[in-house]
Amino acid sequence: MTPQFWLWLGFAGMAAGAAVILFMAKRRTPAEEADGIIHGIVPIIAACSYFAMATGQGSLVLPAGPDAADVARQFYFARYIDWTFTTPLLLLGLSRTAMHSGMRRPAIVWGLIGSDLIMIVTALAFGLSNVAAVKWTWFAISCGAFVAVFYGIFVQLREENAGERADVRSAFMRNAVFLTAVWCAYPVVLLIGQDGLGFLSPTLALAVIAILDLTAKVVYGIMATKETTRAVDRDLAEGPKSASLRRAA
């Protein structure tokens, strides 16, 4: 299969996934509507990114580096633009699940998003670099920011989530483990792909990232939307007072 196949598959999968998520999302409460929009817009952004890459507008050819073994390579910068918008939205959605009864500590969310943006921007710098010392310094910084994101999810958000009822705690852990497990594969692919050590062929690297993107944005979005629906079902079943405690933003 060619690189174009995987890029067009990514576009089609994201577009279809966005339609499914937005169709599934209920609008019985402001919070439920907001969560549906958050998870629906993520694959829309990703679809635009894949369309740009498939049509040649989202990539450029980087010249060979100073090492004699280096060769020119196709660099897909559009995916980093995608990740700059979509990963903060995914973290926002996860934070809303963790603090189901109200966004009590927005500073945690800002810290998560800030660490995430550092991770993405430094990964972009890693991919653009041809000088080994510079490249691997950027990679190390990006991984350090990734660790900070993990800390925010599994320490800070989990502390806030501990005060929620049992079904919300379970939903948060399922979402957090699923999303972060998928995210852990990205730095590995970047490390061994064409932008890193070059162990993967360009087509294989594109295929793996396309599958990861579809899993993190479409599969996870459907999963998170269902979790929100179940939580709001219980809110409404317990009465107007319980539903009113659900965050409205």
Strands 73-75 and 60-62: antiparallel
Confidence bin at 67 (pLDDT 50/70/90): low
Contacts of 225 (CB under 8 A, 6+ apart): 21, 24, 25, 35, 36, 39
- The predicted pLDDT at position 244 comes to 43
pLDDT tens digits, 128-167: 998 899 999 999 999 999 999 999 999 999 999 998 889 9
Is the pLDDT at 205 greater than 70? The verdict is yes
Quick check: 217 and 46 in contact, CB under 8 A? yes
**How many residues can be counted in the chain?**
249
- pTM flag (> 0.85): yes
For residues 51 and 28, what is the distance between their CA atoms, to the nearest angstrom?
33
Residue 149: is it exposed, middle or buried by C-beta count within 10 angstroms (0-12/13-18/19+)? Answer: buried
Higher per-residue pLDDT: 4 or 30 = 4
Around 47, how many Cα atoms within 13 Å sit in the side-chain half-sphere? 14
Confidence bin at 245 (pLDDT 50/70/90): very low
Q: Which CATH architecture has domain 3-244?
A: Up-down Bundle (1.20)
* Chain CA centroid to CA 135, Å: 23
- The helix-helix angle for 166-192 and 220-237 (nearest 10°) equals 170
Quick check: 202 and 74 in contact, CB under 8 A? yes
Quick check: 185 and 212 in contact, CB under 8 A? yes
Confidence bin at 101 (pLDDT 50/70/90): confident
Helix (H) or strand (E) holding 89: helix 78-98
Q: What is the mean pLDDT of residues 227-237?
A: 86
Neighbour count for residue 240 (Cβ, 10 Å) = 9
- The predicted pLDDT at position 235 comes to 78
The mean of the pLDDT values for the chain is 90
Is the pLDDT at 207 greater than 50? The verdict is yes
Take residue 95 and report the two structure tokens written for it. 């934070």
- The predicted pLDDT at position 102 comes to 84
